[in-house]
Amino acid sequence: MASKFSDLISYFKNIATIHKSISHTEQEKHFFRMELDEVLAGINRSDVNYPMLILEGYSFQFIDNKSDNLLKKRSGAFILLDHVSDQSDMDAIHEKWDRLEEIGTEILIKINADKRSREIPVVRHMEFNETEGTLIRNSIGNDVGIRFTYSITSPTPAIVNQLNWTEQ
């Protein structure tokens, strides 16, 4: 069965829960679903805790390799975000970026282990050669972070499901 966006949300929420530096719980939230523009405009919520893991939505495209199957390539991102009290304190910002890079690397190592175990279908086809991290800052909320982009390319059977169509 093909993985769905809800599976990806559950997977990343679990990552935020089990990583000791993030430690998301329902009482102390460190995991959120947001888009990049919301982060850069300043997070206008009172229930956030730092550091946080934010999962963005993804876009997808279909690739035809002239075979029986299509490939579905999903391109998305997650953000690790922390807070600084003073946006002009570059030493503090650099320390946060260094720590977030460590956490991001640990998350990618965990995803790679889960991919290799083949027990978690949602990351089975993660393409690490297309994963990239970019430092970000939000001066409105004094947040700094790293945005990690990724892609997941998986086969999609090209067989018409007759149950979904009326006869002609």
**pLDDT tens digit string along 61-85?**
988 877 777 888 999 999 999 999 9
Cα separation of 117 and 67, whole Å?
27
The C-alpha atoms of residue 104 and residue 117 are separated, in whole angstroms, by 20
Give the per-residue pLDDT at 141: 82
Kindly tell me if the per-residue pLDDT of 93 is higher than 80. yes
Quote the pLDDT of residue 20.
97
Place of tokens 């009172």: 46
d(CA 104, CA 66): 36
Predicted structure pTM score: 0.91
